[in-house]
Amino acid sequence: MAGKREQTGAEGDGPRDPELLERIADRSPSRLGVGRAGSRPRTETLLEFWADHGIARDAVLTHVPASFAEEHGMVAISTLVEDKGEFLANPDRGREISEEAADRLREECEVGPQVQLIVADGLSSTAVERNVPELLPVLLDGLADRDLRVGTPVFVEYGRVDVMDAIGEELGAECCVILIGERPGLASAESLSAYSVYGPERGGPTAKKSVVSNVHEGGLPPIEAGAQLVDLIAEMCETERSGIDLREDDREFVAE
């Protein structure tokens, strides 16, 4: 977490306007106005930095518990990745599933849903554990209220965003949504994003994906994110578009 703002450095080296600094720093999780000791960071600031760095590393390197998928009613599969080292070094293998995984999806999941929900660990297992238990029920209830037919939720270990294209293609889904742990920073290791696409297909352009990001208690709370996503998914299904295609009517181009 960002460090506390106290008096800076040597005597007489404090901020010219402490109240203004306080107002600016309160608007950002960044380490603003934390002071210094000569040319070095203060001990407290350095210890907080190391602690937050450790939390971020844990979010990347730890795993979502094996029981998580079953507890939340999801079918669990993995990508082509075999361990964390390969996941970090070879992102492409986190975007594809094996023939065995595809067979399991077709056997255990509803085929041809309107909306396919997917959860993937991505780069933060912490984000998945903290946010999905609140967000997933809101999504399921909200989509049911809109009379949208939701398929069997799927959990993917070692998943990247584009694995939703492979899963959606295999299941013949009309629309796919993936809730995925984002790369942690030093302000938060709990940030989750929700990417969605209409008409998923392998190799589809990123521009056709919509995203709701910064989902965590210190950003967009999971329950509010769920409400936004329900509106977005309903619009995607109604218009049969996603990404920049969904917002093209909002853009104005002026001819020179």
Binding site membership for adenosylcob(III)alamin: which residues? 161, 182
- Record the tokens describing residue 188, joined without a space: 């938060």
Give the HSE-up count for residue 220: Cα atoms under 13 Å, Cβ half-sphere.
16
What CA–CA distance (Å, rounded) separates 97 from 163? 7
Known binding positions? 161, 182
179 contact partners, CB below 8 Å, separation of at least 6: 117, 118, 119, 120, 128, 131, 132, 135, 136, 192, 193, 194
180 contact partners, CB below 8 Å, separation of at least 6: 119, 120, 121, 122, 128, 159, 160, 161, 192, 193, 194, 195
Q: What residue has token string 């660990």?
A: 121
Helices and strands in the chain: count of H runs, count of E runs? 8, 6
